[in-house]
């Protein structure tokens, strides 16, 4: 395990602890919340996962001189959106998956109705997290919520998912495939980086540069996913490997990763962990 992998694992473990504590408090400790919904949320939210997005929030924020304490609430909010999207993506009306992270999907355990609502709960409550945590700085809270809407909404993940559904029926053009992935997967990864920049009160130039970094990293994350799926013989219309050879997709992954790294060279040595994260994604196995 590389130093960054160990460091990321430590952040992911801390995230699990923080998320676990959060779920035992706030609205979740209110006796009026039906226990079944709480169990359903916990099943997916505390059920493993790489915690790639929280790690990205923390690594970006640390590069900008922030403490983890300042970043956890935002990392939590992003992971809530991510978890909602996975629960809904697994539903019978979407991908109809029985397993996620090697365990039964939410609807397989709790039924479609509860799973749908657990996802709704996570998405809705995610917006309350920055409002509560950064409420003493209303401009900051407002900007984070605005970014969350941008990433999750009609020009973000939801539109990406709709393009994905349409792509199953008619193979899209390559440019449409890029848009699909930048919205479905990339928007949330961009949000992690830009949100940390906003919390750090980064200059407009630095913020633009980091947003671009997040976009390239998001695309690289998706391309790596496509290569993994291809290796597991999961061929889809909306995969880069259905447009070009695996070698060409691997080359694209190299180029996109380099574009990401180029965006953060200005931070010199402080960008070491983020650069290693890009490198790690290049070779990831899961
Ligand atoms: C339902 C609006 C809506 C959107 C769903 C994110 C998504 C859109 C679907 C997930 C399907 C998928 C395989 C997307 C491609 C890459 C991706 C986002 C993988 C899942 O993220 P990981 O690998 O998951 O970070 P873990 O389990 O580690 O949290």
Mapped onto helix, strand or coil, the DSSP state of residue 24 is coil
For the packed helices 157-169 and 187-199, what is the interaxial angle rounded to 10 degrees? 170
185 C-alpha to ligand 1 centroid (Å)? 7
> Contact at 8 Å (CB) between 208 and 226?
no
pTM of the model: 0.96
- pLDDT tens track, the chain, 286 positions: 789 999 999 999 999 999 999 888 877 888 899 999 999 999 999 988 999 999 999 999 999 999 999 999 999 999 999 999 999 999 999 999 999 999 999 999 999 999 999 999 999 999 999 999 999 999 999 999 999 999 999 999 999 999 999 998 999 999 999 999 999 999 999 999 999 999 999 999 999 999 999 999 999 999 999 999 887 766 667 889 989 999 999 999 999 999 999 999 999 999 999 999 999 999 887 8
10 C-alpha to ligand 1 centroid (Å)? 22
Residue of 102, 185, 192, 220 to mutate, ligand 1, most atoms within 8 A of C-beta: 185
Task: Output the residue whose Cα is nearest ligand 1's atom 2.
Answer: 158
Beta-bridge partners for 100: 103
Q: List, in order, residues 6 or more apart from 97 with CB less than 8 Å away.
A: 89, 90, 105
Give the binding-site residues of ligand 1, using a 6 Å CB cut-off: 49-50, 52, 85-86, 88-89, 101, 157-158, 161, 184-185, 222, 225
63: which 2 tokens?
């590069």
The region that residue 16 occupies, defined by phi over 0 for left and psi between -120 and 50 for alpha, beta otherwise, is alpha
Q: Where in the chain does DSSP place strands (E)? A: 99-100, 103-104
């Amino acid at each position: 395990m590389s130093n960054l992998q160990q460091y990321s694992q430590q952040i992911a473990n801390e995230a699990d602890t923080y998320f676990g504590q959060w779920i035992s408090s706030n609205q979740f400790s209110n006796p009026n919340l039906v226990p079944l919904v709480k169990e359903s949320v916990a099943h997916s939210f505390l059920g493993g996962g790489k915690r790639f997005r929280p790690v990205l929030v923390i690594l970006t924020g640390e590069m900008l001189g922030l403490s983890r304490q300042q970043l956890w609430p935002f990392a939590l909010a992003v992971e809530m959106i991510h978890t909602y999207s996975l629960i809904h993506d697994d539903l019978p009306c979407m991908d109809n998956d029985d397993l996620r992270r090697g365990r039964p999907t939410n609807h397989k355990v709790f039924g479609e109705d509860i799973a749908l609502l657990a996802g709704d709960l996570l998405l809705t409550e995610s917006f309350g997290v920055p409002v509560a945590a950064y409420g003493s700085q209303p401009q900051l809270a407002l900007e984070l919520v605005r970014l969350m809407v941008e990433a999750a909404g009609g020009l973000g993940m939801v539109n990406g998912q709709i393009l994905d559904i349409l792509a199953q029926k008619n193979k899209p053009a390559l440019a449409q495939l890029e848009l699909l992935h930048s919205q479905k997967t990339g928007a949330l990864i961009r949000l992690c980086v830009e949100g940390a920049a906003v919390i750090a009160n980064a200059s407009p130039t630095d913020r633009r540069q980091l947003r671009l970094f997040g976009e390239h990293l998001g695309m690289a994350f998706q391309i790596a996913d496509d290569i993994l799926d291809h290796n597991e013989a999961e061929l889809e219309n909306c995969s880069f490997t259905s447009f070009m050879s695996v070698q060409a997709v691997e080359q694209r992954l190299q180029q996109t990763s380099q574009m990401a790294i180029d965006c953060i060279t200005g931070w010199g040595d402080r960008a070491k962990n983020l650069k290693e994260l890009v490198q790690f994604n290049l070779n990831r196995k899961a």
